[in-house]
Structure 1
Amino acid sequence: MPRQIVVPFDDSPHSRKALEYAIETFPHGEITALHVVDPTNRYMYGDSVANEAIFERKQKRGEELLERAHELARDRGVDIETELETGAPARVVNTYAHSHDVDHVVMGSHGRSGVGRILLGSVAERVVRRSSVPVTILR
């Protein structure tokens, strides 16, 4: 039975479902909700002050999302940890799992297929392909 579980969390219905699943399935595990701030559009604009302001808003928004994860867990009588990281989401999830001795990743997927998946990519797919631990994907 996994002891350390990480749940990538962006407060979408898919990530809320993943967190609920982790809480129900691993009631004795140590669950961490992980929000990744993706800075890829940080350099889209020429004004570095505007870029920094955008990035700071994304970080503040991430903190707010993680507070919602805490609330969701508290409503189910569970205490969880939260982490805010920066980088490419799939890479950060896998690096976090490796460096924190995570036993299992539980994450939501938007379930895109075909052209949508090709154009937009799939964080869940990239996590699964590169993960060294089991990954559960929920739609």
Structure 2
Amino acid sequence: MDRSVLVPMDDSPPSRAALEHALSSHPDAEITVLYVVDTTHPVGYGDLFTLAAHTDHGAERSEELFEEAEQLAEEHGVELITVTEQGVPARTIAGFADEQGIDHVVMGSHCRTGVNRLFLGSVAERVVRRTSVPVTVVP
């Protein structure tokens, strides 16, 4: 039985489905929702003000996602822990899971295939490869 479950979230339907799955499948676990502000996509030309604005927007977006997640958790009678981190998404998610002693990761996947997967990669696939804990990928 998993004591702690990590659900990385963005504003996509697959990440909402992953949270729903975690709430349904792990009702007694401590569930942490993680939003990663992706710092791999520069917004300007190295301008610190631009980076700060990007980070502020990420914090605002995480608050909106956390409100949504908490409403869904409330429907299941579960309380969530919410965390915002900055960095490369897959690396940050896997590192967080390992550092915090997470037992299980449940995350959504956009199910990219072919050329899109080659060029864009898959955060879920990278997390599966980088972390030492079980990962459930929800489409």
Aligned CA-pair RMSD: 1.3
Residue 131 of structure 1 corresponds to: 131
Counterpart position of 2:29: 29
Aligned partner of 1:57: which letter? H
SS at match of 1:42: coil
Distance apart, 1:76 and its partner CA: 2.2
Question: Conserved in 2, the CA contact under 8 Å of 1:35 and 1:84?
Answer: yes
SS in 1 for 2:34: strand
Contact 1:11–1:65 (8 Å) recurs in 2: yes
- 1:61-72, aligned counterparts within 5 Å? 61-72=61-72
Tell me, yes or no, if the aligned pair for 1:30 and 1:80 is still in contact at 8 Å: yes
After superposing the two structures, state which structure 1 stretch, 33-42 or 120-129, moved more: 33-42
TM-score by structure 1 length?
A: 0.93
Q: Is the 8 A contact 1:6 1:97 kept in 2?
A: yes
Residue 49 of structure 1 and its aligned partner are, at CA, apart by: 1.9
Which deviations, in whole Å up to 9, do the C-alpha atoms of 1:48-84 show, x marking residues without a partner? 3233212211222122212211111112221111111
Structure 2 equivalent of residue 51 of structure 1: 51
Instruction: Give the TM-score of the pair, scaled to structure 2.
Output: 0.93
Give the fraction of aligned pairs with identical amino acids, expressed as a percent: 52
Map of 1:75 onto structure 2: 75
User: What's the offset of the Cα at 1:43?
Assistant: 5.6
CA contact (8 A) 1:45 1:51 kept: no
Matched with 1:114 is 114
Matches of 1:121 and 1:73 in 2, distance apart?
A: 30
In structure 1, how many angstroms separate the alpha carbons of the residues matched to 2:24 and 2:110? 21
